[in-house]
Structure 1
Amino acid sequence: MDALQEDNILATFDKLVSEGSIIFGPHETIKQDCAGYPLEFRICPSLTKKPHVVGATLDASFDKSEKWGPGSDMYCTDSRLILAKLNHGTHDLALNLYSVDRPQFMALTTDSYRRQYEPLDTADFAAALEMLRLKDVYVIYNCGEKAGCSRAHKHLQGLRGPPEAWDVFVSQDEEERGKVPFRFFSHRFVDGFGAVDELVGVYEGLLKSAREVLGKGESEACPHNVVLWKDGIVVIPRRAAAVGKASANAAGMMGSNWVPDQQSVDEWTRLGCRHVLSELGVPNAQT
C-alpha cells in the first residue's frame, strides 16, 4: 500500500480507460443552493452504461469478464484494476469500473460472499483507514439497496474529496447543521482517526441511533450511508433509494450527486431537491 504512487495510479487508470476496461468520460457540473444546503450535480453521460440497482445486468461487453470471486456480482475486466491488498488481505484495493473521478477507488472484501446489507466491521474500517491515506480521498459505504447500492458484493468506495456539503455536516453551529434536510449522526475525532477499535465503537453508537430513527431491531438490516473524511464520520439512515427517478447514494446525500443526463437534474428540480433528500433519508425536523 505504501508503495502506491499517485502518478502510477493515474497512468494505470488512464490506460484502462483508453482500452475500455474502465468507463469514464467528461462531465458537466451544475451547482445549486438548496436553502443553505450546497448541492452539486455532476452530469456524467458515461453513467448511462452503469447498472443502478442490485441484479441489473452489466454492459454486454463485460458479461464475459471474470467475476470478483464465486459469490460476487462484481466483474474484474482486467487484472490491472487491482492495485493492492488492504488490511493484510481482507480487501482488494481496486479502480472502480464505472468512475466519476480520476481515479475512483473501491475496497472489495476478498471473501466474495460478504454482502452489502451487512454493517461495517473491524476489517472494513481497517481497509477504509488505509484508503484514506490516498491523496484527497474520502470513503463512502452504501449499506443496502435503500442506501443506493447497485452491487451485492460488499465494498466501500473512495472518491476525490471533500464531499460538497461536508462543512455543513461537521459545523459546530446548530443553525448551520439544521440546513441538512435529513437526519444524520456524526462524530469528529479531535486528534484525527486513531485506533480502528475506537472508530468501530463510535460507528456502532451512530448506527444504533440510525436504527432507532428507522425503527429497526438489532437483528434487522438497517439501510444507511457511511462517509469518512479527514477527522470525521457521518452515518445517514435511509428510507429509500429513489423518489420517482431522483436517486442518491452516500455521496449524493452529502451534496455530490452523479447523474447520467440533464433530465435527471430536471427531475430533482421538479420534485424539489430538499424534498427529495428528506424522503431518501428521514426528514429533519426543521425541513
Structure 2
Amino acid sequence: MDVLSEGEVLATFDKLVSEGSIIYQPYETISEDCEGYPLEFRICPSLAKKPHTVGTKLDSSFDKSQKWGPGSDMFCTDERLKVAKLNNSHDLALNLFCVDRPQFVVLTLDSYRRQHEPLDLDDFKAALEMVTSLSDMYLIFNCSEEAGCSRVHKHMQGLRGPPTAFEAFVGGDRERSAIPFQYFVHHFAQGFGKAEAKELLGVYEDLLRQTRGVLGKTVTDVCPHNVILWRDWIIVVPRRRAAVGSASANAAGMLGSIWVPDRSGVDEWLRLGGRSILKELGVPALENGNAR
C-alpha cells in the first residue's frame, strides 16, 4: 500500500463529516483509575446513531446507502470512504461512525466472510500493511458479538494510539497485576515492519488455542475474543459477554478506551464498578497472575 498523506486523509474525512457521510463530533473525556487499571471514557454524542448490536437497523437517514457487497451488513455512504486496497483482499476505508479523527475500518472484499471467524493469513497481511503504513494507529478485532462487534461482515478497525491501558500489558509484575481479566500477549522482537504475516498468524493461533482452553471451547466452536496490534505487540483477550446491563466494551474498551453516547453510560460503569464489569466481560484474572 502506498504511504498515505495524513493531510489528504484528514481533508477527506472532514469533508465527509461536513456532508453527513461520516458521523463524528468532538467528544468529552473522563478518566478514572480502577485500582491501578486506567479507564478513559469518551462521551461521543454521535454514537447515538450507531447500531450497537448485530441486527440493529441503521438510522433511517442511511436507508438509501449501498451495502459493502452482496453479503454485507455494512454501508458505504460515499465512495470517498474507500482509502486503499490492502493485500488485494481487504478495503481500507474511513469508518462510518467515528470516535477518532480519523478512524479506519478494514473490511474483507469477500462480503460473505463473517465476524465470528478467527483471523486468517490474508487478515494479517492486510493488518500489517495498515499498521506499518499509517502513523500511530493501532488495530483491533472483535471476534463475534460476545466480543463487542455490532456488524457481521468481517472487519478490523484502526484507531489512534496508544491504547489507554497498553503499558499495563507490557510492564512489570506490578503493572500487570492491575489487569482484572485474563489475556495472552506476544512481542515481535523484529518489529511489525520486518515480521511476516505467517509469523503473526502462527503466534495468534497459539494464543487462540490458549483462549479456547480458558473459555472451554473446541476448535469448531465460535471463540469470542479481542485482538489488539500495537507497537510490535499482539494482545488476545478471551471474552464471555459483550455487556453487563448497558455497560459494554469492544477490544478498545478492554484496553481502557470506553465509548458511550452520553453521561449516563459513564454513570452506569461507575455504579457497577469498572473492574467488576471487565471481569464479567472477560475472564477474571488468576490469583497467581494473569495468563501470559
Decide: shared fold, TM above 0.5. Answer: yes
Asked whether the equivalents of residues 164 and 255 of structure 2 are also in contact (C-alpha less than 8 Å), the reply is yes
Q: Over residues 168-215 of structure 1, what are the superposed CA-to-partner deviations in whole Å (9 max), with x where a residue is unaligned?
A: 0112x1232111010000001112120111110000000011000000
Q: How many residues align?
A: 285
Which amino acid is the alignment partner of residue 159 of structure 1? L
Query: 1:65-118 CA deviation, whole Å, 9 max, x = no partner?
Result: 00000000000000000011001x200000000000000001100000000000
Determine the C-alpha separation between the residues in 2 that align with 1:188 and 1:106: 24
Whole-angstrom CA distance in 1 between matches of 2:184 and 2:174: 16
Deviation of 1:63 after TM superposition, in Å, equals 1.5
Give the aligned partner of residue 261 of structure 1. Answer: 262
Long gaps (5+) in structure 2: none
Match of 2:54 in 1: 54
1:80 counterpart residue number: 80
Partner of 2:116: 117
Alpha-carbon separation, structure 1, partners of 2:52 and 2:138: 21
CA distance in 1, matches of 2:162, 2:187: 15
- Equivalent in the alignment of 2:160: 160
Q: Distance in 2 between matches of 1:84 and 1:272?
A: 41
C-alpha distance in 2, partners of 1:283/1:64? 44
Shift of 1:31: 0.4
Which residue number corresponds to residue 93 of structure 1?
92
SS at match of 2:9: helix
What does residue 141 of structure 1 align with? 141
Corresponding residue for residue 220 of structure 1? 221
The alignment partner of 1:146 has SS state of helix
Give the conservation status (yes or no) of the 8 Å contact 2:114–2:154. yes
Amino acid at match of 1:265: V
Counterpart of 1:70 in structure 2 is 70
CA distance in 2, matches of 1:234, 1:54: 24
Shift, 1:135, TM fit: 1.2
Contact 2:185-2:234 within 8 A present in 1 as well: yes
- Provide the rounded CA distance (Å) in 2 between the counterparts of 1:178 and 1:195: 31
User: Partners in 2 of 1:108 and 1:14 — Cα distance?
Assistant: 22
Q: What is the letter of the counterpart of residue 182 of structure 2?
A: R
Q: State the Cα RMSD in Å.
A: 0.9
SS in 2 for 1:227: strand
- For the residue of structure 2 that corresponds to 1:127, the secondary structure is helix
Deviation track 1:143-179 (CA, whole Å, cap 9, x = no partner) reads: 00000000000000000001000010112x1232111
Give the conservation status (yes or no) of the 8 Å contact 2:164–2:256. Answer: yes
Which contiguous aligned blocks of 4+ residues in structure 1 show a shift greater than 6 angstroms?
none
| 8 Å contact kept, 2:107–2:156 | yes
Q: Using the TM superposition, give the Cα deviation of residue 3 of structure 1 relative to its aligned residue in structure 2, in angstroms.
A: 4.4
Q: Return the TM-score normalized by structure 1.
A: 0.98
What residue number does 2:279 align with?
278
Give the drift of 1:285: 2.4
| 1:213-263 deviation per Cα after TM superposition (whole angstroms, max 9, x unaligned) | 000001111000000001100000000000011000000000011111110
SS in 1 for 2:280: helix
- Secondary structure in 1 matching 2:39: strand
Aligned residue number for residue 196 of structure 2: 195
Amino acid paired to 2:97: Y
CA distance in 1 between counterparts of 2:273 and 2:279 reads 10
Question: Counterpart in 1 of 2:102?
Answer: 103
Letter in 2 for 1:4: L
> Is the counterpart of residue 248 in structure 1 residue 253 in structure 2?
no
SS at match of 2:100: coil
In structure 2, what residue type is equivalent to 1:80? R
Contact residue 3 and residue 134 of structure 2 kept, 8 A: no
Q: Is the 8 A contact 2:104 2:158 kept in 1?
A: yes
Whether contact under 8 Å (2:167, 2:175) holds in the other structure is no
For 2:19, the aligned partner's letter is E
- What TM-score, normalized by structure 2, do the two folds share? 0.96
Q: Distance in 2 between matches of 1:54 and 1:63?
A: 17
